[in-house]
Structure 1
Amino acid sequence: MKSRENSPHATCRRLIVSLGALSCALLISSCSESTKEKEYETPQAVCGIKVPADILDPLLPEGEKATERSTTASGVKRCYVSVDDKVVLSASIEWYEADTPVAEIASQTVGADPDDKVSADKRYSYSGKGGAGLIRCEDSSKIDKDVDGDLYSIVQISGDPADASAVLKMVEAYTTAAPAGGGCEIDI
């Protein structure tokens, strides 16, 4: 009489049970591994333009050290935020022809789709890749009188797209704070 223990079905069952146990063990061990966290303090500003840390934080990855670097040339003030020496976010203030639609600015600068989201007041355009906002300078005496254009803020996310609503909050905060942070004083 043949034993059921050596039948092909029993061998298959043992293999399935073994694979299931192995899968569970791997899953449990991967869940119990410590995840890397942010070891740096989230900046309170992006190259001198105040942005609340709780708005910037969701757009920055884990890592050990956050740094920033800024440049100003040809009517553009640009800031690069890096984590562990890798640029993860860039923000800029740039002049464009007057009345250029904000969705067009976002499309040209961050590769956003022209059909991406635009705020009801048409001041902001945004997606998970970045966005743009129209800066309103209160003190027009700081703007070059020879300029016939509008000043825009642009935020670009490097790597994987972020949550679009988090990007919108960043674009709004950066755009609103730009005048107080010297954004309206860019020389052409």
Structure 2
Amino acid sequence: MMILAIVGTACSTSGKSYETPSSLCGKSIPSKLLDPFMPAGKSASVVSRHETEGIRRCRIYVDNKEVLSASSEWLRKDMSLRDAARSTFNNVDPDDKITKDGKYIYSKTGAIGAVVCETPPTSSERVFSSIRISGGKPNAEALEGLIREYSEKLANSDHCSS
């Protein structure tokens, strides 16, 4: 009986007393896609910033420590996914895993996506998405799913057309 009580307590205590956010940079994202990156803590918050034209960025904090950063950015139309991955702040290397469809490069700590906008921002630019794990739990497979979802939500967003 005592063993069952201890096991039951260990399984039900995750150390997380906050609700996982259900959006990223204003885009509805299923919490189950963000959960793998969320550490134990008491509170979570999402802070969005759109201070620079062509760049939208948001960060998720747990107990005031950055866990995850996401952004979408207008870049040159001729820029490749690997070129976008060369940016040092992305936690992605151009030689990291690339998906079969060639739209995403990801590692356990970062991902880049080529967003296919229905209405591109300008004739000389295209939108790339990125997610960086900074204080959360690294997880390559989960990051591939999250960058896909985030990029698909951006494709129909106002950031793709303005």
Same fold (TM over 0.5): yes
Are the counterparts in 1 of residues 92 and 106 from structure 2 also a CA contact under 8 Å? yes
* Alpha-carbon distance in 1 for matches of 2:17, 2:136: 21
Residue number in structure 1 paired with 2:63: 84
Q: Unaligned stretches of 5+ in structure 1?
A: 1-31
Structure 1 position 97, deviation (Å): 1.2
Out of 124, 145, 155, the residue aligned to residue 179 of structure 1 is 155
* Alpha-carbon distance in 1 for matches of 2:39, 2:157: 25
Are the counterparts in 1 of residues 23 and 29 from structure 2 also a CA contact under 8 Å? yes
Which protein is richer in helix relative to its size?
A: 1
Residue number in structure 1 paired with 2:95: 115
User: Closer, same or farther in 2 for the Cα pair 1:91/1:133, shift >3 Å?
Assistant: same
Structure 1 position 71, deviation (Å): 0.9
User: Closer, same or farther in 2 for the Cα pair 1:144/1:117, shift >3 Å?
Assistant: closer
Amino acid aligned to 1:39: S
Tell me if 1:165 matches 2:141: yes
Tell me if 1:56 matches 2:34: yes
Aligned residues: 152
* Alpha-carbon distance in 2 for matches of 1:165, 1:51: 16
1:69-127 per-residue CA deviation (whole Å, 9 max, x = no partner) reads: 11111310000110011111000000111132213312314132221001111100000
Residue number in structure 1 paired with 2:105: 125
Structure 1 position 185, deviation (Å): 4.1
TM-score, normalising length: structure 1: 0.73
Are the counterparts in 2 of residues 47 and 79 from structure 1 also a CA contact under 8 Å? yes
Are the counterparts in 1 of residues 96 and 106 from structure 2 also a CA contact under 8 Å? yes
Task: From the CA coordinates, give the structure whose radius of gyration is larger.
Answer: 1
* Alpha-carbon distance in 2 for matches of 1:166, 1:39: 22
Amino acid aligned to 1:76: I
Q: Unaligned stretches of 5+ in structure 2?
A: 1-9
Tell me if 1:45 matches 2:40: no
- 1:95-106 pair list within 5 angstroms: 95-106=74-85
* Alpha-carbon distance in 1 for matches of 2:107, 2:62: 22
Amino acid aligned to 1:129: T
Moved more, 87-96 or 105-114: 105-114
Identity, % of aligned pairs? 35
SS of 1:114's partner is coil
* Dislocated runs of 4+, deviation >2 Å: 179-183
